Amino acid sequence: MMKKVLMILVFGLIFFATGFSQEDSIITEIRSDFQKWQSIIDKEFDNSDKFYNYVWGENYQFDNWFDIKIDNDSLTLSEAVSIIDKKDLGYFVYVDYYSFSGDWYIAVDYYYNKEGQLYFIFWRMNTFYAEEPLTVEKRLYFDNTGQLIRDLKFVYKMNTKEKIDISFMDREVDYKLSLTDMDFYKYWKLEK
């Protein structure tokens, strides 16, 4: 009986440890791809494909995507998207989200693999919905099945790296697991 319990315990620990090592190897691979992307982003961001989502109407009920910035007082910019496509790495998508009230601003780096599946998000929000202005950073890691395997969050005084622990109105990270499901995608593919 004791041997049976010991064997179950040993196999349980091996199974448990193996699960963590798989997760760690996925995180290591994601971090490696992230590093590869950084020099590409630095070189190609300014000339990347860009799209802008403008809204209008009494309650901002109308919206449309454009491939140029528009200077028109009746239109309000709600999203600005930049896309870099690399055959050997996948897709980098940078999105600026703007609040209509100006109380928050969100910038998101989405990393998709060659098949267009999301594997990493670096999300940043500046917000005034807090006891004092904050910058919130979130990092979300996904495995090859689209499962969230790690979720990190850091809160700083706005535009600093000084950590702070105060209450604030958080926002969910908005994402699509497939690049083809992103709102801008059909407009981007029409342009190509």
The 10s digit of each residue's pLDDT in 37-94 is: 999 999 999 999 999 999 998 888 999 999 999 999 999 999 999 999 999 999 999 9
Residue 9 is predicted with a pLDDT of: 44
**Residue 192 pLDDT level (bands cut at 50, 70, 90):** low
Residue 10 is predicted with a pLDDT of: 41
Per DSSP, the three-state class of 83 is strand
Ramachandran area for residue 188 (φ above 0: left; ψ -120 to 50: alpha; else beta): alpha
* Cα–Cα distance for residue pair 62/117, rounded to 1 Å: 29
The pLDDT tens digits of the residues spanning 153-178 come to 999 999 899 999 999 999 999 999 99
The pLDDT tens digits of the residues spanning 86-139 come to 999 999 999 999 998 889 999 999 999 999 999 999 999 999 988 899 999 999
**Residue 15 pLDDT level (bands cut at 50, 70, 90):** very low
pTM for the whole thing? Answer: 0.85
* Cα–Cα distance for residue pair 61/53, rounded to 1 Å: 13
